[in-house]
Amino acid sequence: MTNPIYAVGDLHGRVDEFERALSLIEHDGGPEAEIVFLGDYVDRGPDSRGVLEQLIAGRDAGKRWITLLGNHDRMFSWFLEDVPRHDPHMLVGYHWLHERLGGVETLQSYDVVFDQRTRLEDLHAMARGAVPESHRMFLQRLVAMHQTPEIAFVHAGIRPGISLKEQRENDLVWIRNTFHSHRGPHPKLIVHGHTPVDRMTHYGNRINLDSGAGYGRPVGVAMFEGLECWQLTNKGRIALAP
């Protein structure tokens, strides 16, 4: 019998949804369940710091948690480097502190506030002083993919037609249209987040668990046994099929 594995969609600074997801999983599979978190722990929501603290505490307690890298986590991590690094995938005019991306809310969770006349070098120094080293190291050590015999868990998706071992990190954390429009089989069932949908959706070759926690909606929580998938709800499991 295949061991169950659970997955949690994009949390985006929502400690309340993190705790709800853990409660659902513990009720279904017990406190030692294996859980894959699909990335984007920070930005937009009110308590990115709290989400990271809980993930780190779980890791330190020996929980069977796999924490994947999301594009928002990478943007935050890159901002905290010795010299802030800008993600070249973004549109011209966008940056981590743009109002649509949520970096401002993340810094506020560390009590770092600023106005439009603040120089970037000064804000960077403030952020480096406020964000604990343990948080920076956690972000740097996030992994881009986790695999079972049947499933590949990633944040955004994969580039079709390329083997899993040859996928590039930039695609794993950012890809959208090319991945979403592909209707053929992938090397494995791909479970991902990154692109908010109204509800968790099974597309046959992929499953999207990003149900929009970053925009005030409940986080997606799922359980897998082999290729079979169930959504976890307050009323129990609901089969999730194409």
Calpha distance 77→144 (Å, rounded): 14
Please state the domain extents for the chain.
5-239
pLDDT for position 2? 75
CB 80 within 8 A of CB 128: yes
The sign of the torsion formed by the CA atoms of 62, 65, 68, 74 equals negative
| Cα within 13 Å of Cα(93), Cβ side | 2
pLDDT, one tens digit per residue, over 52-107 is 999 999 999 999 999 999 999 999 999 999 999 999 999 999 999 999 999 999 99
Of the candidates 75, 56, 65, the residue with the CA atom closest to the CA atom of residue 38 = 65
Which helix (H) or strand (E) segment is 37 a member of?
strand 35-37
Please say whether the structural domain 5-239 has been given the CATH code 3.40.50.2000. no
User: Could you tell me the pLDDT band of residue 171, with boundaries at 50, 70 and 90?
Assistant: very high
pLDDT, one tens digit per residue, over 128-153 is 999 999 999 999 999 999 999 999 99
Q: Count the Cβ atoms, other than its own, within 10 Å of residue 174.
A: 19
pLDDT for position 222? 98
Number of residues that make up the chain: 242
Calpha distance 19→27 (Å, rounded): 12
- With a CB cutoff of 8 Å and minimum separation 6, the contacts of 109 are 13, 46, 47, 48, 49, 50
Q: Model pTM greater than 0.85?
A: yes
**Residue 3 reports pLDDT greater than 90:** no
pLDDT, one tens digit per residue, over 175-213 is 999 999 999 999 999 999 999 999 999 999 999 999 999
Calpha distance 16→51 (Å, rounded): 9
Which helix (H) or strand (E) segment is 203 a member of?
none
